[in-house]
Amino acid sequence: MATAQALFRTCPRTGLQFHKSAESLIKLNAVAAVVTLLVGGLLALLLVLTRWQAIHLIDADNFYLYLTAHGLDMLVAWIIFFEIAILYFCSSTLLRCRLATPRIAWLAFALMVIGTVTYNVAIFSGSATVMMTSYVPMPAHPAFYLGLILFAVGALIGCFVFLGTLVVAKAEKTYEGSIPLVTFGALTACIIAIFTIASGAIILIPTWLWSVGYIKHIDPAMYRVIWWAFGHSSQQINVSAHVAVWYAIAAIVFGARPMSERVSRTAFFLYICFLQLASAHHILADPAVGTEWKIFNTSYAMYLAVLASMIHGLTVPGAIEVAQREKGFTKGMFEWLRKAPWGNPVFSGMFISLLGFGFLGGISGVMMGTEQLNMIIHNTIYVPGHFHATVVLGTTLAFMAITYFLLPTLFNREMILPGWAKWQPYVFGIGMGVFTLAMMGAGTLGVPRRHWDITFAGASLPYEYPGTALLMLAICGISGVIAVIGGAMYIIITVGTLLFGKKLDAGAYTTSITPLRLPVQAALSGHGGHGGGFAAPGTFVLALVFLTAFVLYYFVNWKYLSTVWGLS
Amino acid sequence: MSAILPPQQRIWWKQPIDKVELIWITIAFVWCMVMFFMMPYWHVYGRQNLSPETYRVKPELFQRAAQEMADKYTVRTETDEKIPVVAPPAGSDVYLIARLWSFWPILELKKGETYRLHLSSMDYQHGFSLQPENINVQVLPGYQHVITIQPNRSGSYAIVCNEFCGIGHHKMVSRLYVKD
């Protein structure tokens, strides 16, 4: 029944096929994401201008309030709305099938919107300034926890709609063989999302009951352990999603194929197996958890997850290199990279995302996840430095890059301000890259995170941070403003395009599914076994540069640790 | 086949692996193993490890222990609030209370000696951040965390709260002295 009524259109430019209901839901989730990005971005501007001590713009009450709202609107709403859009795209569009249960997908969207509004109202009314982590026993208004729970339930339903769509595609035989690698990556994100949200429910539901008075006591150590099973793993939804987006962009821009399906899929599978345990690294400086527990979870689980990221870090640019070499860019190590379309924001955004996530986010993440090194990093501004490299430079920039592909394809609009779009990934990426480095620098000098005034004006026992720390925060301020400008350019381009962009031919809706036109691949065989040759030498050199930076920085940190007080 | 299309070979898990991938995976795995062994190695040979020694404690009892220490070893008071500066003997148990929005008391330690530092909070979660040394430990209410510390440089240190604990968070800063 449902199949007979379903309407599909084929994008005349890309050949991608959209199911009408899925199309509306992808659009809506993406638009909701951009709206929350706008809110979070405005707050970001106020925050960077406050931590820049020379300007110190807003007062303490509002600073902490905005910081809470910024964290939740960016990490929860912007990213997860966009991820739900990606899940629907990777299932219904890539598999050329109808979206399962569109009505329930609408319900999911409604719950997520209601949840976002609810927790934002709680925060902006001033009764839930508890940060993203909302550590007990610091109380927030019950509406805060309730809003988060509603949002999570909505996202969970979205995940099940995605899984249902995979089932529909399989049952209706809309594709042959296995699901595409990008869909596989989205499936990884979905599986991680499901167990993450389960952890969130285990801790947020009792915390909500505690906030309304039904539960007397929530143990702070237990709260932290379970909260982080949700808090960190949820970031791994983003990693899986943005790695899937990297592969998608490599495929869209270069027609690149994965070097080896086996390697790339196994790397995704490692995320599923090990990420939940790796959340333990947030509790390394905590009492009440044993040393063996800390070492086991971080060393064994996290490094296998790190291994997965290191694999993707090679295979994504590797696939691009192979595709470029097949097009004839074979001169030297790096002609393939030099001749890449650096003016195309879809590619440049993706590549800056890859470099930033790997070099800045990946390496700093491993430092924080090492039991002893964590002591010289825990709760300093190094921590937001790390996660701005991963989720802003990595995830957000990857999502921005794919947006430039989706504007004509999904929204059927010609992009306005193409000149701006060309520069946007650079402005945002470089601003954010310097911002994260300066934050990490300030953190190394001991500057705390979530802190309104590190000059301690008015405190009875003052302390002065070294001048370099204040300089670092000033650099944070300047580069943060540049990153916000890059973010604003993205919003102006996308919203402007939706409102004023020239309408493009959308293709007609029909009730039949256009079968997949498999491109002729006679000349291009699979990459596996390139006759023993080195398929991607340039990428391998880049990977070795990365490894060298990683090893050096790792041991520099141990050296630094060895100079602090003896502790045992 | 492209990453947005189904794999060309149905049995994709039998697709051979490129040499470049295999070499990189081997290198990356070896590096992961090096990092794997660094933590236990440092527990055996390194000098900076966080103790897992923790007890559940009622805030009143912890406060009483801190008060007893202060009664015995206070050498002077500082600031308008008359915060006691406590110089307990080397090797002893020293207590530090974190509460909204101060640390209590001020400790005066001797360089090169070891102390058993007990940390606990009276209310919310706080952060113990020793500056400019940059040692950072989470402080939870209801738990007392015991860390054996050995100051290796003399001077005046600051203890900054680095876990958000409400509106006075940024004024929650205290001092710690290390004497030669």
- ipTM of model: 0.96
Cβ neighbour number for residue B85 with a 10 Å cutoff = 18
Tell whether the model's pLDDT for residue A531 goes beyond 70: no
Q: Which two tokens stand for residue B143?
A: 């738990």
Alpha-helical runs (H) found in A213-333:
220-231, 233-254, 261-278, 291-295, 303-326
Do residues A239 and A390 lie in contact, with contact meaning Cβ atoms separated by under 8 Å?
yes
**What residues of chain A, 114 to 143, have a C-beta less than 8 Å from chain B?**
129-131, 135, 137-138
Tell me what percent of the residues of chain A surpass a pLDDT of 90: 83
- Between CA A219 and CA A229 the distance in angstroms is 16
Looking at CA atoms only, how far is residue B148 from chain A in angstroms?
A: 5
- AA letter at B79: T
Q: Do A370 and B23 touch (CB under 8 A)?
A: no
Q: Is residue B130 within a helix (H) or strand (E), and if so which, with residue range?
A: strand B126-131
| Average model confidence (pLDDT) across chain A | 93
Pairing of strands B106-110, B83-86: parallel
Q: Do A370 and B18 touch (CB under 8 A)?
A: no
The pLDDT assigned to B3 comes to 87
Q: List pLDDT tens digits, range B73-112.
A: 999 999 989 999 999 999 999 999 999 999 999 999 999 9
Among candidate residues A29, A52, A41, A12, the one with its CA nearest the CA of residue A381 = A52
DSSP A391: I
- Bridge partners of residue B178, in order along the sequence: B109, B155
Q: Do B138 and A319 touch (CB under 8 A)?
A: no
- Bridge partners of residue B175, in order along the sequence: B158
Contacts of A258 in chain B (CB under 8 A): 3
Interface probe with B: pick from A14, A284, A383, A460, most Cβ of B within 10 Å: A460
HSE, side-chain direction, 13 A CA sphere, residue A471: 5
Residues composing chain B: 180
Pairing of strands B173-179, B155-160: antiparallel
Tell whether the model's pLDDT for residue A33 goes beyond 70: yes
The pLDDT assigned to A520 comes to 41
Tell me what percent of the residues of chain A surpass a pLDDT of 70: 96
The helix/strand/coil state of B87 is coil
Q: List pLDDT tens digits, range A248-258.
A: 999 999 999 88
**What residues of chain A, 273 to 312, have a C-beta less than 8 Å from chain B?**
283-291, 295, 298-300, 303-304, 306-307, 310-311
Chain centroid, CA B180 distance in Å? 24
HSE, side-chain direction, 13 A CA sphere, residue A224: 21
The pLDDT assigned to A4 comes to 52
- Between CA A243 and CA A350 the distance in angstroms is 10
CA dihedral A177, A266, A91, A29 (to 10 degrees): -170
Model pTM score? 0.95
HSE, side-chain direction, 13 A CA sphere, residue B156: 9
Q: List pLDDT tens digits, range B15-53.
A: 788 889 999 999 999 999 999 999 999 999 999 999 999
Looking at CA atoms only, how far is residue A490 from chain B in angstroms?
A: 25
- Bridge partners of residue A384, in order along the sequence: none
- Between CA B117 and CA B86 the distance in angstroms is 13
Q: List pLDDT tens digits, range A109-133.
A: 999 999 999 999 999 999 999 999 9
Do residues A367 and A557 lie in contact, with contact meaning Cβ atoms separated by under 8 Å?
yes
Among candidate residues A243, A229, A297, A236, the one with its CA nearest the CA of residue A271 = A236
The pLDDT assigned to A522 comes to 36
Chain centroid, CA A529 distance in Å? 33
Tell whether the model's pLDDT for residue A460 goes beyond 90: no
Distances (CA, A) of A543 to A35, A204, A434, A550, B23: 37, 41, 22, 10, 11
Among candidate residues A80, A367, A113, the one with its CA nearest the CA of residue A234 = A80
- Bridge partners of residue B149, in order along the sequence: A567, B115
Lowest mean pLDDT among A81-95, A282-296, A398-412, A529-543: A529-543
- Between CA B103 and CA B66 the distance in angstroms is 11
The pLDDT assigned to A528 comes to 44
DSSP A218: -
- Between CA A347 and CA A418 the distance in angstroms is 14
- Cβ-in-10-Å burial (0-12, 13-18, 19+) of A500 comes to exposed
Q: Does A344 touch chain B (CB under 8 A)?
A: no
The beta-carbon neighbor of B32 closest among A182, A306, A518 is A306
Cβ neighbour number for residue A240 with a 10 Å cutoff = 26
Q: List pLDDT tens digits, range A128-163.
A: 999 999 999 999 999 999 999 999 999 999 999 999
Quickly tell me which residue has 């966009």 as its tokens: A82
Tell whether the model's pLDDT for residue A521 goes beyond 90: no
Better pLDDT: A130 or A177: A130
The pLDDT assigned to B103 comes to 97
Contacts of B6 in chain A (CB under 8 A): 175-180
- Cβ-in-10-Å burial (0-12, 13-18, 19+) of A556 comes to exposed
DSSP A157: H
The pLDDT assigned to A286 comes to 94
| Average model confidence (pLDDT) across chain B | 94
Tell whether the model's pLDDT for residue A517 goes beyond 90: no
Lowest mean pLDDT among A19-28, A300-309, B96-105, B106-115: A300-309
| Inter-axis angle of helices A20-51 and A467-500, nearest 10 | 150
Q: Which two tokens stand for residue A71?
A: 């964290």
The pLDDT assigned to B124 comes to 96
Do residues A288 and B54 lie in contact, with contact meaning Cβ atoms separated by under 8 Å?
yes
Tell whether the model's pLDDT for residue A59 goes beyond 60: yes
- Between CA B130 and CA B140 the distance in angstroms is 17
Q: Do A370 and B38 touch (CB under 8 A)?
A: yes
- Between CA A28 and CA A188 the distance in angstroms is 23
